[in-house]
Structure 1
């Protein structure tokens, strides 16, 4: 019988039972694909990661990321949380982790406390921001059971954007953030009406006051009714806002998960590199518990 150890951490928080929980299975090369997916469904977190030997010895590990239903090319809190767990176990030399993921190389710069212990990190999205099609206000309103008049289009219309993991972004009125309630049938209709999205219709809504955002993310078709902290969405959102507001760089403080009772704090940043917009998200992590999976 083989055993693989796992640890869970809460990411984008400085206290237990806040932020976004993550399960990390280390030295998981012996686990097959189907079992990885089953374990992700069993853990029932937004994402679960599996740390494997790197294909390129210049990198620290290959990491596979699964939500409850599918493998993912990139996700923010799993990269920070995985690097945090690896650093605590002595699996990373120095303060930079290079993690091979389907979307490319995720670079995580670790942050440490006065004693040198890891406390979190910053992950740079592996791909530049790509923006795409826009969506009618009524479609967003129908999916979240708010009024079309709650959609704010001063900066941008509801729009597709990605840094490796696709989302639809809509700015809404501040008081509408708490009123969002997903309508699963409406999400299915939207996915059917936009086949180019390949069955994925994940909505990220936010209210903005200068550089502070209050956000929620709903991906019921991927098994995540609501996500308490979404690094892979906050990154392209920062890039989208830089594109629309102008300048060479921009940063935001994002509050997410408040309505779920899991308050999360995310620092999102975007900057220009030639014609591209690159992005990162930062946050702290807290260890929760550990165990073994025997198979």
Structure 2
């Protein structure tokens, strides 16, 4: 058996970042190949499959004159045009590797969904929520299936909407955070649907509890999901169900302590959180 890397492979700087947390190992991990020049699509997909994380990103020189860097985002099975925690984690890794943005305090990321602005927000990074490419009511047949998958009566789903900004999320609003935390999901009933559930707290420093479910995926429940939170913010703020600034918790039932900071400013919705580097080194890729 030949254990040597392929001739085109070389050692590349690598980092693993925990995102949407200020405390290591309490958020959502992201693998980042900091210099992915000359890697093929096949190599990227193979490496992302090997890391076995929800997403792995590859940093490249930008092709757009306004961008500071370009990122490609892969799950273990496919490439995404955009995802939230990979955006913040990649920006964190790019800055730590010595990247200097063209505009002070704002990074411009180039990805499959276009240009995404990322701002330095105190000790956090925050991205501007990209436009929703699908934002419409959910068919009643799907709502009945979702209610069954969440093991809830149909009437418990107060509202629902497609929230597509890369991943094909369906957002579901429940009456309370406690109801969200108590869900015991039937993944088979949700097969083929990516469902994010959100419910409000009645008091305290946290405004909403979020859980996101990906049937068929090895992870099944995502620890903290930037893309869903971005879509949910646009939906809930637009319908008057959320204030112009709030904090959502996610990952609680998984033993995580993800915190997503959301704020509407001058027509943009910014989705932010902490990022902590947990692993640095090199990889053969």
TM range (shorter): 0.7 to 0.9
Q: Deviation at 1:222?
A: 4.6
Inter-partner Cα distance in structure 2 for 1:209 and 1:20: 22
Inter-partner Cα distance in structure 1 for 2:270 and 2:170: 18
User: Any idea what the Cα deviations from partners look like across 1:82-112, whole Å, max 9, x if unmatched?
Assistant: 1111111111234221111111111111245
Inter-partner Cα distance in structure 1 for 2:163 and 2:130: 14
Q: Deviation at 1:70?
A: 1.2
Query: Aligned pair 1:286/2:281, yes or no?
Result: no
1:184 match: 187
Is 2:261–2:271's contact at 8 Å kept on the other side of the alignment?
A: yes
SS in structure 2 of the partner of residue 107 of structure 1: strand
Unmatched 5+ residue regions in structure 2? Answer: 1-8
1:163 match: 165
**Against the structure 1 CA distance between its residues 246 and 181, is the aligned structure 2 distance closer, same or farther, given a 3 Å change threshold?**
closer
1:91 match: 99
Inter-partner Cα distance in structure 2 for 1:254 and 1:281: 10
Query: Aligned pair 1:16/2:20, yes or no?
Result: no
**Against the structure 1 CA distance between its residues 250 and 129, is the aligned structure 2 distance closer, same or farther, given a 3 Å change threshold?**
farther
Is 2:62–2:70's contact at 8 Å kept on the other side of the alignment?
A: yes
User: Any idea what the Cα deviations from partners look like across 1:99-145, whole Å, max 9, x if unmatched?
Assistant: 11111111111245xxxxxx430101232575213244422222223
Tell me which of 245, 248, 261 is aligned to 2:255.
261
Is 1:256–1:263's contact at 8 Å kept on the other side of the alignment?
A: yes
Is 2:188–2:215's contact at 8 Å kept on the other side of the alignment?
A: no
1:134 match: 138
TM-score normalised over the length of structure 2: 0.86
**Against the structure 1 CA distance between its residues 241 and 111, is the aligned structure 2 distance closer, same or farther, given a 3 Å change threshold?**
closer
TM-score normalised over the length of structure 1: 0.83
User: Any idea what the Cα deviations from partners look like across 1:164-216, whole Å, max 9, x if unmatched?
Assistant: 4331111124333223233332122xx3xxxxxxxxx2100011136810010
Unmatched 5+ residue regions in structure 1? Answer: 113-118, 192-200
Query: Aligned pair 1:227/2:222, yes or no?
Result: yes
1:109 match: 119
Inter-partner Cα distance in structure 2 for 1:254 and 1:161: 17
Tell me which of 235, 242, 251 is aligned to 2:237.
242
Inter-partner Cα distance in structure 1 for 2:47 and 2:182: 33
Structure 1 vs Structure 2 CA RMSD: 2.3
The structure where strand makes up a greater share of residues is 1
SS in structure 1 of the partner of residue 93 of structure 2: helix
User: Any idea what the Cα deviations from partners look like across 1:233-274, whole Å, max 9, x if unmatched?
Assistant: 111111111221189x7122100000001110001234674x
**More moved, 165-174 vs 19-28:** 165-174
SS in structure 2 of the partner of residue 27 of structure 1: coil
Residues matched between the structures, number: 269
1:195 match: none
Query: Aligned pair 1:207/2:199, yes or no?
Result: yes
Written as runs of structure 1 = structure 2, the 5 A alignment for 1:115-154 is 119-127=123-131, 130-136=134-140, 137-151=143-157, 153=158
Is 1:129–1:162's contact at 8 Å kept on the other side of the alignment?
A: yes
SS in structure 1 of the partner of residue 25 of structure 2: coil
